Structure 1
Amino acid sequence: MNRCFIFGALKVSCLPIKPESGDFIIAADKGYDTALSLGIDPDLAVGDFDSLNRIPDAENVVTLPVRKDMTDVGYAVEKGFERGCAEFIIYGAVGGALDHTFANVAIAHDIARRGARALLIGEEYSFTVLHGSSFTFKARESGRISVFALGGTAQGVTIRGLDYEVEDCSIENTSHIGVSNAFVGKEATISVREGELLVVWQTE
């Protein structure tokens, strides 16, 4: 699977998932400094650079206007799709300004609808969106995990390996029944047959 790593402006102290040879690495605006602080040299830097306050000294730079119809992270995602990426690991994009966190969850939603996978990895919480698909967590995960329906009713929801398990249930997008589940030290899988689920869990 072709992977795209995107670095946003927020602090990143560790990388639970690390880039490997062949991955496409993009810095979005101040995410350029974020990547450099982790010893990562991005393949591409994009943005209006209003947060970075300079044009990056990078080999490949796309400078965007301040007034535009998408965020810098959103533009980075489009560049990843142009490269044929099917998985997007996005750091430094959740946990700061609430409006930008919501915007990045919306971006993850769009990625899922386009048949790819997005992981938004924050310092405290991480997010993914399932669109008629499943996601498996390794046994080492700990802490809380919640699921919420997006855009309508999520049907055929199955949760295995967590404290609360369900088989083939439906969750309305007005329901909070999926809040505050927990990892129990074993492999866990969440799946949805039809519709979409937002999955939120505590970052290790």
Structure 2
Amino acid sequence: MTDAALAYSSPVVMIGGAPPEMALIDRLCGMGLPLIAADGGADVLLQREYRPDAVIGDLDSVRDPEQLRALGVPLHHVAEQDTTDFEKCLARVEAPGVLATGFLGGRSDHTLATMSVLARFPAGRVIVLGGPDLIVHCPARIALDLPEGVRFSLYPMTRVRGHSSGLHWALQDVTLDPLGLIGTSNVTLGPVELEITEGTALLILPMDHLNTLRKALKW
């Protein structure tokens, strides 16, 4: 965390500049949480008449910085080009959790970069929302109170081993690998308990289980 970190006692909503899903943005902005815009995400918020609490990035995609300044929005310019605006934001925001949208869809390289950033930041801290999915860097241990028949994908970012209960295809005696067997499109039998004993994986769930996931992550 940098000296210029923005610290919040509550979770925050983070909006990126990918093609916006307006209904999802309205849902997240309606939660009453602080709004952080990643560069061009500021324009997405202004189009919906939401005022960001801060804008972070290299600011090359913000249409009218002066409009934001006139609204009293702090602009945090980060000039370096070695990281994405998503990573710039996560590195400068300190909060119990982050609900992020606007970082999937659009260009495939941007989506892959988002997955890479998500895997490198602390497990369970950030939920990325987009399309039909919720994506989180899976903690080493997690218990989810899910009903039977829910799509449950565990995508390995490295070699992954672990244990599970409540899944149709259990993890016991299985090695997941991004260049080998991957754990997509598993199905729940009911509540799930998962322990990852080796490696890093992304957990992908349907969008309508956001509250269950947040409860499991305790934020």
Q: Output the amino acid matched with 2:204.
A: V
Q: CA deviation at 1:92?
A: 1.2
1:98 equivalent to 2:108? Answer yes
Residues 20-66 of structure 1 deviation map (CA, whole Å, 9 limit, x = unaligned): 56x5431012212333456643221122333332215142112344x
Q: 1:125 aligns with which of 120, 130, 133?
A: 133
Q: 1:77 aligns with which of 90, 94, 99?
A: 90
- The aligned residue for residue 89 of structure 1 is 99
Unaligned runs of 5+ in 1: none
Q: How does 1:46-195 map onto structure 2 within 5 Å? A: 46-55=56-65, 56-57=67-68, 58=71, 59-65=73-79, 68-80=81-93, 83=94, 85-112=95-122, 117-131=125-139, 133-139=140-146, 144-151=151-158, 153-155=159-161, 157-167=162-172, 169-183=174-188, 186-195=190-199
Q: Output the amino acid matched with 2:191.
A: E
Q: Could you tell me whether the CA contact under 8 Å between 1:144 and 1:182 is conserved in 2?
A: yes
RMSD (Å) for aligned C-alpha atoms: 3.1
Secondary structure of the residue aligned to 1:69 is: coil
Unaligned runs of 5+ in 2: 1-8, 209-219
Q: 1:5 aligns with which of 13, 21, 34?
A: 13
Secondary structure of the residue aligned to 1:103 is: helix
1:36 and 1:137 mapped to 2: Cα distance? 36
Q: Output the amino acid matched with 1:147.
A: L
Residues 117-149 of structure 1 deviation map (CA, whole Å, 9 limit, x = unaligned): 221111233311125x23344436965332122
**Normalised TM-score (structure 2):** 0.71
* Aligned-pair identity (%): 20
Distance 1:90 1:71, change over 3 A: same
Secondary structure of the residue aligned to 1:14 is: helix
Distance 1:52 1:88, change over 3 A: same
When you count strand as a share of all residues, which structure comes out higher? 1
Aligned length: 193
Q: CA deviation at 1:190?
A: 3.2
2:125 and 2:16 mapped to 1: Cα distance? 18
Secondary structure of the residue aligned to 1:180 is: strand
Q: Could you tell me whether the CA contact under 8 Å between 1:95 and 1:125 is conserved in 2?
A: no
